[in-house]
Chains A and B, each alone.
Chain A
Amino acid sequence: MDVSLIIQQCENLLHDLSLSYVKEWKDKNNSQAIGYMPVYIPRELVCAGGMLPVGIIGGGDEVEVIRGDAYFQSYICRIPRSTIELGLLGNLDCLDGFLFPAICDVIRNLSGMWKITFPQKYVKYIDFPQNFSNIGREYYKKELLLLKTDFENITHKKITSKDLSQAICLYNENIKWIQKLYDFRSEKPHLVLTYELYLLMRASLILDVREHTQLIKDYLHSVENEKRPLRDYVRVIVTGAFCEQPPLALIRALESSGCYIVDDDWVLGSKYYTQDIPLLSDPIDSLVSAYCDFAVSTASRFEESKNKGHYLMKQIKKYKAEGVIFAAPSFCDPALLERPMLQDILTKNKIPHTAFKYAENTGQIQVIKEETGTFADSIKLWGET
């Protein structure tokens, strides 16, 4: 398939706030769909139940928040207000349940708001362990077993070990191709445009995992033949954007300001573990391992100072990044509290960095573009590489 057609398909999914794909999928498969907010959600378990996991990460810059503003004060980030707006508009009616991960107090409290506002829906707050020893693993396993029972009650169908193992294989395959996409992007950043990569990743939130894997395969196959010029851009990593997403226009602007973004943490829920989930005799243990042993580092996961920054430094090395851009949503406590710690580590390691804040509906792109453009120029002019 032609690259432009693939990207057009992804863009259509991004703009389809009424979730037509989800409704069609449900009709076709005579099944249910479960929504989730970003990061660390065990989508494999949803898939094992024969349901469609649907990532909802706000309404972006396309939703005019009217009623949502009556739910949140001005000093709270935008993602919960646009999400609740979507709910109140009925756009999320096709979701049969909603999972809220333990990533910050706002998303945590949103789970309670959802219970009150949509009492007919299944709502679950998933408290991931912050203690990764056996005690934490045991706790998480019990939480996952409860979640499995809840899913069985929704679908009226048992989830067998075989179902879950098959789902894990599907997601392992997906992660493998996402990894190939990122590696190719790093190798030939001029071919894989940042906004294309972003749209491909956004599609992972909606599409059936099999379709998404195929989409990446098709894209990689086609993009190799694209004739795109190699530009004198610097290689950077963007971090801090794991929850509320920057608008697409901002993502385009970052690249055109002179930055090849060789790694990022947006749409992180679709690539939150760093390697294949091991297939253990009890596949629930595999999910525990995915979170406890192989999950990527984020500001929402407890990390002792001896380990702080290791993941970022590893990514910098792996992708030969020349600098780091801290892009955090306004009022995002986890990302903004994490930032000074990581900045300190980068400074000690002489890695250039810059920072800005955004909201999912940020319109003032030019200011940020000038900032990152200057950052790129400074690396080109005075950088060591």
Chain B
Amino acid sequence: MQNQPAATLKEDSMVLQKKMLADHYHKLSQAKEFGKKVVYTFVPGNLNELIWAFDMLPVHPEINALQAGMRKKSGNYVLEAEKHGHSEDVCTYVKCDIGMLKQGNIGPTGEKLPPPDLLLLSYTGCFTFLKWFELLQQEYHCPIAMLHVPYQGDGKITPSMIEYVVGQLKENVIPMMEKVSGKAMDLDKLQAYLDSSKRAEENLVYIWDTAKHRPSPIDAYFGGVYYIGPIFTAFRGLDECERYYELLKQEINERITTKSGPITPDGEFNDQKFRIVVEGPPNWTSFREFWKMFYDEKAVVVASTYTKVGGLYELGFRHDAKRPFESMAEYCLGCYTNRNLPNRIEILEKYMSDFEADGFLINSIKSCNSFSAGQLLMLRELEKRTGKAGGFIESDLVDPRYFSAANIKNRLESYFQMLEARRK
């Protein structure tokens, strides 16, 4: 299997994922034709179940931006936004989205994305979201529903926070969705979606947990964002999402039985020398090249934090149809970037121990202050607490100007050499 050309090595789940995403973008391109209302919303703290309950279609601008990054289009979009007065200093997801909009809003599949009927600003764990949708509202002149999700400054969710989020859902968000969709809130429908989410969440947690095996049957960062996470974010709550995770679980179980590693663009990755935990988002413009730097050094990622911005489930949270609004609030409040720095360090420390990692690596993203501010302190604290070596590299989300392949490769090679030396 390892000698097969990369193009032929596709598991059924990968084919299914590609089809689901293509179908979704196709539906979006025809949304206006079929009278479907479109909601733009963010990945962290997304309220997919609510959007489905109103029979609307979600668009996640970060996903469009990262898709543009992977398709080598983001550089041009970023420049377009800068031409319109956006600073070189700010988030490139935002600039990619604005640039894409200015150039016709053509989505990743080449079809035009519809303008939003509603901007659902679930302001969770990232200040830039707030400005991003203010900017989009100035462009689209559509209503905006603000859902302010308080930050866990003291590392805990208080009853007052839940009350605040639930209050906003009931008094602001849902009435606005009813107005935009022209449909009344259907609690049974919402509860059915939440039940489905819960089932998918069980499988998702199971899948992340399989990285405890040796060899790890998954790559929990590159594979995580490419094959495991996207469907969860875009389709959580739907039957097809459940089916996808059932299929993926079966495939991963087979890999565990055969002691096989994850599938990379260059084939199956079985010979795993280093088990790594990664903090921070990946670079999307050189995604394959970046991933290759890891598996070339026989490093597999066994846990990552970026895959938890859309929801952190391994600590026990599940959507709960019996407490629909409270559990949606708890979901938003619990997303990784909504947790304070001490809590983030604890999570990483737990990953290091649970997944028996050899080391951890921080990919510090120029664009993303929510992740990046404080990461140098996290590095030192984690080294102190775990006794394991940490690596630190810098890149950007979708601005190709900030991915220096030679520098990153050099650093990674040195880092893995250091891990090797520590073993002896």
A139 touches B160 (CB 8 A): yes
Interface centre among A299, A330, A331, A337 (most CB of B within 10 A): A337
B127 and A116 within 8 A (CB)? no
CA distance A299 to B146 in the complex (A): 16
Q: Which of A117, A135, A139, A328 contacts B171 (CB 8 A)?
A: A135
Q: Does residue A176 face the partner (Cβ distance < 8 Å to B)? A: no
Give complex CA distance A328, B86 in Å: 13
With contacts A112-B341, A131-B148 taken as known, whether A340 is within 8 angstroms of B94 at the C-beta atoms is no
- Known: A73-B364, A102-B151. Is A302-B146 also a contact (CB below 8 A)? yes
Interface residue tally for chain A (C-beta within 8 Å): 58
- Select from chain A the residue with minimum beta-carbon distance to B345: A116
Among A111, A126, A343, find the residue whose CB has the most chain B CB atoms closer than 10 A.
Answer: A111
A303 touches B373 (CB 8 A): no
For A309, the closest partner residue in chain B by CB is B138
If A104-B369, A130-B146, A135-B167 touch, does A73 touch B342 (CB 8 Å cutoff)? no
B76 to chain A, nearest CB (A): 19
Residue pair A133, B172 in contact (C-beta under 8 Å): yes
Q: Given A115, A135, A330, which contacts B164 in the complex, CB threshold below 8 Å?
A: A135
For residue A72, CB closer than 8 A to chain B, the reply is yes
Q: Mark B305-347, 1 if CB is under 8 A from A, else 0.
A: 0000000000000000000000000000000000011111100
Q: How far in angstroms is the closest Cβ of chain A from B396?
A: 9
* Chain B positions 126 through 146: 1 when the CB is less than 8 Å from some CB of chain A, otherwise 0: 111011101101100100101
Check A333–B373 contact: CB distance below 8 A: no
Report yes or no: B86 in contact with A71, Cβ–Cβ below 8 A. no
Question: Which of A109, A138, A328, A332 has the largest count of B CB atoms less than 10 A from its CB?
Answer: A109
Chain A residues in 8 Å Cβ range of B94? 337
Are A110 and B373 also in contact (CB < 8 A) when A129-B148, A337-B90 are?
yes
Interface contact A341-B135, CB-CB below 8 Å: yes
Q: Provide the bound-state CA to CA distance between A108 and B124, in Å.
A: 13
- Is B137 in contact with A113, judged by CB distance below 8 angstroms? no
Query: Which residues in window 113-170 of B have CB below 8 A to A?
Result: 121, 123, 126-128, 130-132, 134-135, 137-138, 141, 144, 146-148, 150-151, 153-154, 160-161, 163-164, 167-168
Report the nearest A residue to B138, measured CB to CB: A305
Bound-state Cα–Cα, A112 to B172, Å: 31
A66 on the interface (CB 8 Å rule)?
Answer: no
B91 within 8 A of A: yes
Interchain CA distance A333-B368 in the complex, whole Å: 10
B372 within 8 A of A: yes
Could you tell me the distance in whole angstroms from the C-beta of A379 to the nearest C-beta in chain B?
Answer: 20
Q: How far is the CA of A328 from the CA of B373 in the complex (A)?
A: 19
Please give the number of chain B residues whose Cβ is less than 8 angstroms from any Cβ of chain A in the complex.
55
Contact in complex: B138, A105 (CB < 8 Å): no
Smallest CB gap from B402: residue in A? A75
The answer for the CA separation of A139 and B162 in the assembled complex, in Å, is 10
- Which residues of chain B are near A304, meaning CB under 8 Å? 134, 137, 144
- Cβ proximity bits A63-95 to B, threshold 8 Å, 1 near / 0 not: 000000011110110001000000000000000
Partner of A72, one of B84, B90, B164, B373: B373
Which of A103, A330, A340 is most buried by chain B, counting CB atoms within 10 A of its CB?
A340
CB of A122, distance to nearest CB on chain B (Å): 11
B128 and A73 form a contact (CB under 8 A): no
In the bound complex, how far is the Cα of B123 from the Cα of A303, in angstroms?
13
The answer on a CB contact under 8 Å between B131 and A131 is no
With a cutoff of 8 Å between Cβ atoms, the chain A residues found around residue B86 in the complex are: 336-337, 340
User: Cβ of A252 < 8 Å from any Cβ of B?
Assistant: no
A165–B336 Cα distance when bound, in Å, is 40
Point out the residues of chain B lying under 8 angstroms from A71, CB to CB. 374, 376-377
B78 to chain A, nearest CB (A): 14
* In the complex, chain B residues whose CB is within 8 Å of the CB of A320: none
B373 engages A106 (CB within 8 Å): yes
CB of B375 closer than 8 Å to a CB of A: yes
Within the complex, what minimum Cβ distance (angstroms) separates A47 from chain B?
Answer: 22
Check: B35 CB closer than 8 A to any chain A CB. Answer: no
Max chain A Cβ within 10 angstroms of own Cβ: one of B85, B89, B123, B344: B89
Cα–Cα distance between A174 and B392 once the two chains are bound (Å): 48
Q: Are B373 and A340 in contact (CB under 8 A)?
A: no
A residues 303-361 touching B (CB-CB < 8 Å): 303-305, 308, 328, 330-334, 336-341, 343-344, 357
Cross-chain contact B376 with A112 (CB below 8 angstroms): no
A337 touches B131 (CB 8 A): yes
Complex: A105 Cα to B150 Cα, angstroms: 13
**Cβ contacts A to B, 19 pairs, < 8 Å:** A73-B372, A73-B375, A75-B89, A106-B373, A111-B153, A111-B341, A112-B340, A112-B374, A115-B342, A125-B340, A131-B164, A133-B171, A135-B168, A135-B171, A142-B160, A143-B160, A333-B369, A337-B128, A338-B131
Contact surface of A with B, Cβ cutoff 8 Å: 70-73, 75-76, 80, 100, 102-106, 108-113, 115-117, 124-127, 129-131, 133, 135-136, 138-139, 142-143, 299-300, 302-305, 308, 328, 330-334, 336-341, 343-344, 357
Interface residues of B (CB under 8 A from A): 84-87, 89-91, 94, 121, 123, 126-128, 130-132, 134-135, 137-138, 141, 144, 146-148, 150-151, 153-154, 160-161, 163-164, 167-168, 171-172, 340-345, 364, 366, 369-370, 372-377, 381, 394
**Extra pairs beyond A105-B127, A337-B91 (10, CB < 8 Å):** A71-B376, A73-B394, A106-B369, A112-B344, A126-B153, A127-B151, A135-B164, A139-B167, A305-B141, A341-B135
The list of the 5 closest CB pairs from A to B, nearest first, reads A112-B341, A125-B153, A337-B131, A135-B167, A139-B164
